[in-house]
Structure 1
Amino acid sequence: MSKRSVVVMGLPGSGKTTFLAALWHLVSEKEVPCKLTYVSLQASNIEHLHEIASQWRAAKKQERTAQGGDKLVSMILKAEGGEPQTVTFPDVAGEAFLQMWGRRECDETVAGWLKAPGVLLFIHADKVTVPKWVIDEKLLMEDLGIPPEDGAEAEALVDWSPDVAPTQVQLVDLLQSMQTEPLDVGPRRLAIILSAWDKAAGRGLSPEEYLARRMPLLDQFLKNGLGPSWERRIYGISAQGGDYDDAKTTLADAERLRDIELPSQRISVVHAGSQSNDLTEPLQWLLT
């Protein structure tokens, strides 16, 4: 039996825990065909996975992984005709990656996980912070009849911090960090996961086209900055299938999801013109 590790990366709220909850339900319940099938799981992971999968099945929002509350999940999965493989990947708080960007710091344990040969990078398709252009701001102020500030007033209005930087800037910096010491481990496979794909699918774009339009800097870096030793694929994934309710509101969409007979059929995975319910697709590619 071989061992492969996959690191799950993404800024806060990018969908990492929801993906893991849906994945556990998918491989443990075996409701739909998958490229990878479940063999066994380390006992220490069971309580955490059962908890998040229970929330997922009930169409309830996941409690976000708190910083310092990271969980290491290790499953043994098997492709048809292949050898069982121990796949280890951490459920790491998004704040750990925000800290790498904003404070140039990385926890030693997280740094060890970031040396995995397989990378799942999550981007919430509906929560992309885009750059603001000075000319657009100027035109907006003119339309609203707001007089321009002088230098001192304009400086006082600027309250910048690293976490308000455009999403693509933060992600390019994270990927560059993984190409330099001490995180550089040579060739890797990178699966970009555009989560909440149900929010973006109505635009009629493929995941590759959507990323290129919404995050052109990241798109150019993926094509020209990663280098030939990194292979990449882009997936549009809806692990929830739609909006969930919260403690105050019950949404009709959440009720619709609960009425689906097989919860695994909520899942949508889009790649290279095809669509399936199989969340193991990007994992299977990372492991080959």
Structure 2
Amino acid sequence: MNRQDVVVLGLPSSGKTTYLAALRHLMTANEVDVELRLVHLRGEGTEHLHLLVDRWLRAKAQERTTEVKSRTVTMTLREKTGAEFELHFPDMAGESFQRMWEKRECDPSVAAQLRSRGVLLFVHANKYKAPTWVVDEVQQNKALGIAPEPEQPVPWKPEHSATQVQLVDLLQSLQSAPLDAGPRRLAIVLSAWDKAAAEGHAPVTYLDRHFPFLRQYLENGLGEGWTWTVFGVSAQGGEYDEDDKPPREEAQRMRDVDIPSQRIKVVTEGAESHDLTEPLTWLLG
């Protein structure tokens, strides 16, 4: 049987775990038309995945993956043609990638996964650290009537960096030894697309407006043979309930949807569907 490997990247709370939970439900529920169906599931992360799906169905926010070691799920998938293949899908904590930026360290188990030819990069469309400019802060303080503080140097720390700076560094690492695996296919997933859709932009335009440095790198910094595309993905459809906090109206609205798979939205240039397998199908060529 043909084997395919996809590595899932993203900083903490970028939507990776929610995507995996919704994907698992979508491929087995037969509620909407999809490109890929799940035939068999195995691996050390299987039981964990069942728990994720249960929380997703109940519109409960996912607990963040915090372990450095990834839980790899192996899926036997069937295409519409009837052809089957194995897909290895690791659920790695965003802290693993954040550590690569802040500490310049990479766990060997993570490094092994990072050599996959298919790369699914998650970027939260609504919650990210934007660049800050001294001139903007000065103008804001002046407008608020706040007197400038005496000059005091503030030590720079890696965690102060903008999200897109960290993501570009991660992509650069994938093109350098020991992680370089040659040309790859890269799918950018703008998660929480339900929070971004109101702007009325296509995903690639949204990326250009909110993450211009990342967009420039995609255009000019990737090595020869790399190909990339952008998807807007809402795997939840709204804000889910958090443990030990009051219920949210959006979560109840999602529970009221008769067909859970229809909570999902996947947006590309001029098209929209409920099929979370579209990014995977594109990655697999």
Which TM-score band (shorter chain)? over 0.9
| CA contact 2:23–2:277 (8 Å) conserved in 1 | yes
The amino acid of 1:88's aligned partner reads H
Structure 2: unaligned runs, 5 residues or longer: none
Aligned to 1:257: 254
Show CA shifts across 1:93-138 (max 9, x none): 0000000000000000000000000000001111121111111111
- Show the counterpart of 1:41: 41
SS of the residue aligned with 1:269? Answer: strand
| Deviation, structure 1 residue 43 | 5.6
Output the CA distance in 2 between the equivalents of 1:126 and 1:145. 29
> Which residue number in structure 2 is paired with residue 190 of structure 1?
186
More helix by percentage: 1
Aligned ranges 1:159-178 → 2 under 5 Å: 160-178=156-174
Which stretch of structure 1 is more off in the superposition, 124-133 or 15-24? 124-133
Hey, what does 1:181 align to over in structure 2? 177
Runs of 4+ in 1 over 2 A off after TM superposition: 43-46, 67-70, 144-151, 158-161
CA 1:145–1:202 in structure 2 vs 1: closer, same or farther (change >3 Å)?
same
Distance (whole Å) between structure 1 residues aligned to residue 81 and residue 138 of structure 2: 61
Shift of 1:6: 0.3
Tell me which amino acid in the other structure corresponds to 2:146: I
| RMSD (CA atoms) | 1.2
In 2, Cα distance between equivalents of 1:223 and 1:2: 31
Give 1:70 shift. Answer: 2.4
Pairwise CA distance, 1:164: 2.3
1:213 aligns with 2:213: no
C-alpha distance in 2, partners of 1:175/1:44? 27
Question: Comparing 129-138 with 213-222, which one deviates more in the overlay?
Answer: 129-138
- Is residue 2:26 matched to residue 1:30? no
Deviation for aligned residue 1:160 = 3.8
Cα deviation 1:172-225 (Å, max 9, x = unaligned): 000000000000000100000000000000001111011100011000000111
Amino acid at match of 1:275: E
Amino acid at match of 2:192: A
TM-score by length of 1: 0.96
8 A Cα contact 2:183 2:223, kept in partner: no
Question: In the alignment, is the contact (CA less than 8 A) between 2:69 and 2:110 conserved in 1?
Answer: no
1:69 to partner: Cα distance: 5.0
Residue 139 of structure 2 aligns with an amino acid whose one-letter code is: L
TM-score by length of 2: 0.97
Aligned residues with identical type, % of pairs: 53
Change (3 A) 1:43 1:113: closer
For residue 9 of structure 1, give the secondary structure of its aligned residue in structure 2.
Answer: strand
Q: CA deviation at 1:145?
A: 2.5
Residue aligned with 1:279, SS: coil
Aligned length: 284
Other-structure match for 1:96: 96
Which range is displaced more, 206-215 or 160-169?
160-169
Q: For structure 1, which runs of at least 5 residues remain unmatched after alignment? A: none
Aligned partners of 1:268 and 1:277 also within 8 Å: yes
Instruction: Tell me how far 1:44 sits from its aligned partner.
Output: 4.1
1:269 aligns to 2:266 (yes or no): yes
